[in-house]
Amino acid sequence: MSADLKKSSSNGSEKSLINEEQQAKISEIRRLIGPLPEKLAIYCSDAAIARYLRARNWNVKKATKMLKETLKWRAEYKPEEIRWEEVAHEAETGKIYRSNYIDKHGRTVLVMRPSCQNSKSTKGQIRYLVYCMENAILNLPEDQEQMVWLIDFNGFNLSHISLKVTRETAHVLQEHYPERLGVAILYNPPKFFEPFWTVAKPFLEPKTQNKVKFVYTDDPNTKKVMEDLFEMEKLESAFGGNDDSGFDINKYAERMREEDKRIPAFWTKSEAPPEPMPTSSVDLNSFDSDASDSGKVDGSTSHVSDSEGLISDKSVLVTKGSDNCNGSKELLYR
């Protein structure tokens, strides 16, 4: 990796700089993708294409294949059209939510509580996860493109694991949100979780390994890890901070409804370079992942990056229903 692309995922370094060779690859992908309808054109900013290139080690064919699959998915799934009222029932226990604080580098924070799962619907859980991811991206500052995950394992046990939801979660995150994870804090994971990480770690690139932090309340280094990333006065007490207000579904619902109102405005103005618009509706089959490849794309890699390895080997992050918890995201695809 070139020097101007090196960045630390945990210290909040800003967007990577793009050199001439890399910009040429971005332009080549634009040519291969072709003209797009407005929303997808907005999605395909230079920064977005660069994320797909980084996820595939700047291999144009592989990145184009990955991006085409995402464009087809977005055209069909329409993640930007999900609104709070559609997913509110999934949020009642606070199993996933965007915190009202950011880290010291301005990155949005998603709090996840696996033991607070309240739904057995795979479709509903994935829909809510996508809503949360889109909302977290909506609220990123202009100089950031990654987020922080705070994963609280309090009350978690093996009964919470759902392999079906985990597989679907891994697919969505690794295929459609590449290079979006800045750092993941695993807070008080149970001992039986450690073997999963031991097996997964050798298959991850060093930069991805560095994004995962294990934090334990009985570890003297815990406070330093959290203090390095957060203002302790704003951090929730569940993560060693001084804010004990907790999750309030009513306040959160009000906040999400207000943020939903800001979504349409973004999708009607493009920050992407002007491109010719198709004169008729876009055929989803035109996003066939192999359409522009002259040969078969080799998908094998010795390592995986970002959410790919992190999620697929950590089934504990996605869980079955539980009654342990009770009810007590401007969009910048730069």
Q: What is the tens place of the pLDDT at every residue in 122-164?
A: 899 999 999 999 999 999 998 999 999 999 999 877 666 667 7
Name the pLDDT band for 312 (thresholds 50, 70, 90).
Answer: very low
pLDDT at 7: 43
Q: Looking at per-residue confidence, does 166 or 308 come out higher?
A: 166
Determine phi and psi for 278, rounding to 5 degrees.
Answer: -65, 145
Indicate if the pLDDT at residue 39 is higher than 50: yes
Instruction: State how far the Cα of 222 lies from the Cα of 225, in Å rounded to an integer.
Output: 5
User: Edge-to-edge, what's the strand order for the sheet holding 212-215?
Assistant: 96-98, 109-112, 147-152, 181-187, 212-215
Report H helices in the chain: 20-33, 38-43, 46-55, 60-77, 84-91, 122-138, 163-176, 194-200, 206-209, 222-229, 249-260, 263-266, 307-312
Residue 308 identity: E
Which of 220, 254, 222, 250 has its CA nearest to residue 235? 222
Which of 144, 248, 249, 153 has its CA nearest to residue 197? 153
pLDDT at 331: 36
**Torsion angle of C-alpha atoms 165, 169, 170, 175, degrees rounded to 10:** 140
Give mean pLDDT, residues 306-312: 43
Instruction: State how far the Cα of 214 lies from the Cα of 19, in Å rounded to an integer.
Output: 35
Determine phi and psi for 149, rounding to 5 degrees.
Answer: -110, 125
Collapsing DSSP states into helix, strand and coil, what is residue 110? strand
Indicate if the pLDDT at residue 311 is higher than 80: no
Indicate if the pLDDT at residue 300 is higher than 90: no
Which of 160, 157, 215, 224 has its CA nearest to residue 184? 215
Tokens 């291969």, residue located? 32
Domains and CATH numbers, the chain: 23-77 (1.10.8), 86-268 (3.40.525.10)
CB-based burial label for 78 (10 Å; 0-12, 13-18, 19+): exposed
The answer to which of 7-11, 201-205, 236-240, 327-331 has the lowest mean pLDDT is: 327-331
How many CB atoms are closer than 10 A to CB 152?
A: 21
Helix, strand, coil percentages (3-state) for the chain, rounded to 5, are 45, 10, 45
What would you report as the CA-atom Rg of the chain, rounded to the nearest whole angstrom? 20
Tokens 């973004």, residue located? 266
The model carries a pTM of 0.79
For residues 29 and 53, is the Cβ–Cβ distance under 8 A? yes
DSSP annotation of 53: H
Which of 80, 73, 79 has its CA nearest to residue 288? 73
Question: Which residues contact residue 241 at a Cβ distance below 8 angstroms, ignoring those fewer than 6 apart?
Answer: 226, 230, 232, 233, 234, 235
Give mean pLDDT, residues 195-211: 69
58: left (phi over 0), alpha (psi -120 to 50) or beta: left
